[in-house]
């Protein structure tokens, strides 16, 4: 009997082990077929993006026209999938008010709490029966969704590509699929700048205006020089920038090639950045905190950092800058100013794409037009929310009127600073479906290199490539 019990116990134990296998398997059936086509299509995108630019406007218009899909128009509610409900809470009331819809005709569904989660969970959501008319997508992984499986061309809603003549060109490039068909449009232009402490800048660099600051940090050499001055003047107490991750976001804007070209990983300027990162870490020109962590916000209030690299959406009320200032009445509230910084760059942004399941054609078209093609309504939204909208004319009008004053920046108008930077962003042929994964690997390799876990730059580059190799074994690795 005793032995029998033992055997039962062993069996039970092995059964437990068995269940371990089960856990690994929960959602493959929902997502493998679905995403298979998505990434195959996206895989050879780098070439396709170039193709897009070579197509002339007429051909493109014709291709867009031909790709249009017939959509139903009998849905009861316009449903938007997103991971940033707060944005939509700002957008929907304005849309309903202006267009005469009642508030309960438009709704949003929060799928995941971050872009990464949304990327994963959209597939599962869309595999189900629930309604989805518009998807909100992020630049890093948008290509996986710009195909017939998930989205329809904007022309299906009667929105012509020519409607985006006033949009910032890079947003149109990102919203275009590998066949040159426009499937998504961004309502934001997420240009970024260097947001710095005015009091510290005056104390350590002797600058009194954003223009003077821009002079001091206009390119990477100057930026490093300024970092050295600040560090020496403050006795090593104040770093130039909060994180290397933020710096990389800016630095990668200098890339001239996509991450994956001809099915091969392209390092481009990655190696140079490792040098810069090491210099910044070793000399304490950066604080060493982790991007988006609590400590990352804390360094904004205790003189640990001169500034952050912030994109437009970080500067809205309640967003990252306000948190870094400690909120209203915080230690450094309103003590920041913005200038362009060493490079033009963009960070994030949200694209609206009509879902393949869209059954509210008219309303979806209204919504997308309202936020991406109509200058007047976009301007209204920008004025209301502080978002940098994706329309040159609207932004120019706001800047010309001089009406925008951001309390977080001590009353400065961030639009005036970023309007040129936004126009200067060029992402033609630089976006691939691999971007978010590869960036993730690279940022990690940088962290390990500056922390000393990788002894040499070669180790770091090797480790980075190994990490990408395990993620994408099918790239050409010879």
Q: Which residues of the chain form contacts with other proteins (CB under 8 A)?
A: 2-3, 5-6, 9-10, 13-14, 16-26, 28-29, 31-33, 35-36, 38-40, 43, 114, 116, 119-120, 141, 144, 245, 287-295, 298, 434, 436-437, 440-441, 443-445, 447, 451, 453, 465-467, 469-475, 477-478
Short-list 449, 41, 446, 53, CA closest to 252: 446
Between CA 429 and CA 51 the distance in angstroms is 9
Distance of CA 13 to the CA centre of its chain: 46
Task: State which residue, 13 or 103, has the beta carbon closest to other proteins.
Answer: 13
CB of 247 to other proteins, least distance (A): 15
Q: Specify the 3-state DSSP secondary structure of 253.
A: helix
Between CA 273 and CA 282 the distance in angstroms is 14
CB of 367 to other proteins, least distance (A): 28
CB of 456 to other proteins, least distance (A): 17
CB of 35 to other proteins, least distance (A): 5
Task: State which residue, 163 or 298, has the beta carbon closest to other proteins.
Answer: 298
Task: State which residue, 345 or 442, has the beta carbon closest to other proteins.
Answer: 442
Start-to-end C-alpha separation, the chain: 61
Phi, psi (rounded to 5 degrees) for 334: 75, 5
Contacts of 39 (CB under 8 A, 6+ apart): 144, 433
Between CA 262 and CA 435 the distance in angstroms is 15
Task: State which residue, 2 or 329, has the beta carbon closest to other proteins.
Answer: 2
Between CA 295 and CA 316 the distance in angstroms is 20
Q: How many residues does the chain have?
A: 478
Task: State which residue, 26 or 56, has the beta carbon closest to other proteins.
Answer: 26
- Residues 415/453, Cβ–Cβ less than 8 Å: no
Cα angle, residue 200 at apex, residues 195 and 201 outer, rounded to 5°: 65
Residue ranges with strand state E in 280-406: 305-311, 336-339, 345-346, 350-354
CB of 292 to other proteins, least distance (A): 7
CB of 343 to other proteins, least distance (A): 23
For residues 69-105, one letter each, b for 16 or more C-beta atoms within 10 angstroms of the residue's C-beta and e for the rest, the string is eebeeebeebbbbbbbeebbebbbebbbeeeebeeeb
Task: State which residue, 195 or 450, has the beta carbon closest to other proteins.
Answer: 450
- Residues 379/173, Cβ–Cβ less than 8 Å: no
Task: State which residue, 220 or 313, has the beta carbon closest to other proteins.
Answer: 313
CB of 64 to other proteins, least distance (A): 26
CB of 188 to other proteins, least distance (A): 21
CB of 345 to other proteins, least distance (A): 19
Between CA 243 and CA 284 the distance in angstroms is 11
Task: State which residue, 81 or 207, has the beta carbon closest to other proteins.
Answer: 81
Task: State which residue, 133 or 435, has the beta carbon closest to other proteins.
Answer: 435
CB of 289 to other proteins, least distance (A): 5
Contacts of 231 (CB under 8 A, 6+ apart): 238, 239, 240, 283, 284, 285
Task: State which residue, 31 or 212, has the beta carbon closest to other proteins.
Answer: 31
């Amino acid at each position: 009997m005793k032995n029998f019990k033992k055997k039962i116990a062993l069996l039970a134990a092995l059964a437990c082990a068995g269940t371990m296998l089960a856990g690994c398997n929960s959602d493959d059936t929902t997502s493998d077929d679905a995403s298979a086509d998505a990434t195959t299509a996206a895989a050879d995108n780098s070439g396709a993006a170039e193709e897009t630019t070579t197509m002339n406007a007429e051909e493109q218009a014709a291709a867009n026209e031909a790709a249009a899909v017939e959509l139903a128009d009998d849905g009861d509610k316009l449903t938007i999938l997103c991971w940033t409900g707060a944005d939509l809470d700002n957008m929907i009331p304005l849309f309903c008010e202006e267009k005469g819809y009642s508030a309960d005709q438009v709704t949003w569904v929060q799928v995941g709490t971050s872009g990464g989660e949304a990327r994963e969970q959209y597939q599962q959501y869309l595999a189900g029966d629930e309604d989805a008319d518009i998807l909100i997508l992020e630049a890093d992984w948008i290509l996986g969704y710009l195909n017939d499986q998930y989205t329809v061309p904007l022309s299906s809603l009667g929105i012509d590509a020519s409607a985006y003549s006033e949009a910032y060109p890079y947003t149109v490039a990102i919203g275009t699929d590998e066949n040159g068909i426009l499937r998504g449009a961004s309502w934001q232009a997420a240009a970024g700048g260097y947001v710095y402490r005015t009091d510290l800048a005056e104390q350590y660099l002797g600058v009194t205006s954003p223009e003077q600051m821009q002079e001091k940090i206009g390119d990477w050499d100057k930026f490093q020089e300024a970092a050295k001055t600040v560090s020496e003047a403050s006795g090593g107490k104040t770093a130039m920038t909060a994180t290397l991750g933020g710096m990389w976001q800016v630095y990668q804007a200098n890339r001239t090639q996509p991450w994956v070209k001809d099915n091969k990983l392209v390092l481009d300027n990655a190696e140079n950045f490792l040098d810069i990162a090491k210099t910044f870490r070793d000399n304490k020109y950066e604080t060493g905190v982790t991007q988006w962590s609590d400590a990352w916000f804390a360094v904004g209030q205790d003189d640990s950092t001169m500034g952050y690299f912030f994109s437009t959406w970080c500067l809205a009320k309640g967003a990252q800058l306000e948190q870094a200032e400690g909120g209203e009445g915080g230690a450094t509230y309103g003590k920041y100013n913005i200038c362009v910084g060493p490079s033009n760059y963009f960070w994030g942004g949200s694209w609206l794409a009509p879902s393949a399941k869209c059954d509210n054609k008219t309303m979806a078209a209204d919504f997308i037009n309202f936020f991406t093609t109509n200058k007047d309504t976009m301007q209204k939204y920008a004025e209301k929310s502080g978002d940098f909208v994706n329309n040159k004319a609207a932004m120019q009008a706001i800047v010309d009127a001089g009406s925008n004053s951001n309390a977080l920046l001590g009353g400065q108008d961030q639009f005036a600073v970023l309007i040129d930077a936004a126009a200067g962003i060029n992402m033609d042929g630089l976006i691939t479906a691999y971007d978010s994964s590869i960036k993730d690997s690279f940022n990690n390799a940088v962290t390990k290199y500056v922390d000393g876990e990788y002894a040499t730059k070669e180790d770091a580059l090797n480790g980075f490539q190994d990490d990408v190799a395990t993620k994408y074994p099918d790239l050409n690795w010879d």
